[in-house]
Amino acid sequence: MGSTAAGALLLLLLAVVPAVFAVTFQVGDIGFWNSGVDYTDWVTGKTFRVGDTLEFQYGPSHSVAVVNKAGFDACDTTGATQTFSGGDTKIDLTTVGTMHFICPTPGHCQGGMKLAVTVLAAVPPPSPKSPPPSPRTPPSSTPSPKSPPSSTPPKPAPHSPRKPKTPVAILAVSNDPSPSPMTSPSPSPSPPINAVSKGVMMSYGMMAITMLLMYGIMS
């Protein structure tokens, strides 16, 4: 239903818009369609377009015939496409080109009752103007308040205590086969010289006594 209504509205607009811009021309102005009027001068400065209308007003002794270029030049109505005699004739301009009109009454065309109208294409309706862009909202001049700095100092990040390094004993390896002074036993103190002399003398004395005893036994 909505699409049908929209289509009908569009057709109505297409029919109304040309009518709004169409012009109805009174042929001859106040002289009407009559003898003694210069219709060549009348069309000068006028623009005729498709959709316009020519209105012929005339008395009972006149009529209007639509002819081609040859009939216009020769004032001959033999090949006329249309003939009107009602006293008030309105002819719509429907095609682009030149239309020719004459009065069929003998002698009137030769007297100047002939009209040639050049028809131009209709003026297209003006396109709707786009609305001007809306003005941009200016930025606010009042700066946004900044948050006050915190009075509480930041807490330092906790850190794990370092573990003491385990001392590593360094053993010195030496190629010297002699025992290290740190591991070799301390030497026993040497006996005094007097004690050694006494021992030697006692040994010699014992030997002498033993030899004397053996000698006595043997003798």
Q: Report pTM.
A: 0.52
pLDDT at 167: 47
pLDDT reported for residue 173: 41
Tens of pLDDT, residue by residue over 200-218, are 566 666 777 777 777 677 7
Query: What's the pLDDT at 119?
Result: 97
Sorted by where each begins, the domain ranges of the chain are 22-120
What's the average model confidence in pLDDT over 66-95? 96
Q: According to the model, what pLDDT value does residue 138 have?
A: 59
What is the percentage of the chain residues whose pLDDT exceeds 70?
Answer: 53
User: What top-level class would CATH report for the domain 22-120?
Assistant: mainly beta
Cβ burial 168-193 (10 Å sphere, 16+ → b, else e): eeeeeeeeeeeeeeeeeeeeeeeeee
β-sheet bridge partners, residue 88: 57
> How much is the average pLDDT of 177-191?
48
Tell which wins on pLDDT, 31 or 208.
Answer: 31
Q: What is the C-alpha to C-alpha distance for residues 122 and 23, in angstroms, rounded to an integer?
A: 11
Distances (CA, A) of 138 to 130, 173, 197: 23, 87, 126
